Amino acid sequence: VQGYQFDSSVVAEVLGQDQSAVEERLDALDSTFGLVRFAGELEHPNGTLSLGYRFVHILYQEALYSSLKPTRRVALSKAAATALMRAHGEQIDRVAVQLAALHEAARDYAAAAECHLRAARNATRVFASHESVALARSGLRMTALLPPSPTRDVLERDLSLTLGWSLINVRGYA
């Protein structure tokens, strides 16, 4: 559920297993079946060491993901989002796009919209206006699924402003 690329520490936390046991199983999937590949070592901002893996082909990831029952997919997505947020602490902007997708899959639309806003603002900061437009629009789709509330209104306003500024950059003032 974490995506095409994933971290052994997140998988271990989601499954409630020891990280070294998860890494051994992932190594076996790599050497025996060729389903995943080792992608490198990484350190999360909270100091957790992890091994990165990726699927050999995105179709493998999509096939495994679609085989999950909807309730299991929601539970795993929520657990993966929680694990990523814990690993990144105050620096969750680094993984805002990934968190938005996980929250959306977990049906936590408020958190998904907030992460889309963070990701759109990040894209705007690095002059990736087209990506910012797409992310802001996705966030607005999430806010449409929320019940009316002052929090929703603030989120919708912020996403609309981010979208507006990004559209000015992409299409001009007209």
154-159: long-range contacts, CB 8 A cutoff, minimum separation 24: 155/110, 155/113, 155/114, 155/117, 158/117, 159/113, 159/116, 159/117, 159/120
Residue 174 pLDDT > 90:
no
Nearest-angstrom CA–CA distance, 88 and 46: 6
Q: What is the mean pLDDT of residues 1-7?
A: 93
pLDDT of residue 33: 87
Quickly list DSSP for 60-119: HHHHHHHHS-HHHHHHHHHHHHHHHHHHHGGGGGGGHHHHHHHHHHTT-HHHHHHHHHHH
**The whole model's pTM is what?**
0.90
Q: What is the mean pLDDT of residues 33-46?
A: 92
pLDDT digit string (tens) for 93-135? 999 999 999 999 999 999 999 999 999 999 999 999 999 999 9
Q: What is the mean pLDDT of residues 62-74?
A: 95
How many residues are listed for the chain in this entry? Answer: 174
DSSP state of 47: S
| CA-based end-to-end distance of the chain | 41
Nearest to 113, CA basis, from 167, 82, 151? 151
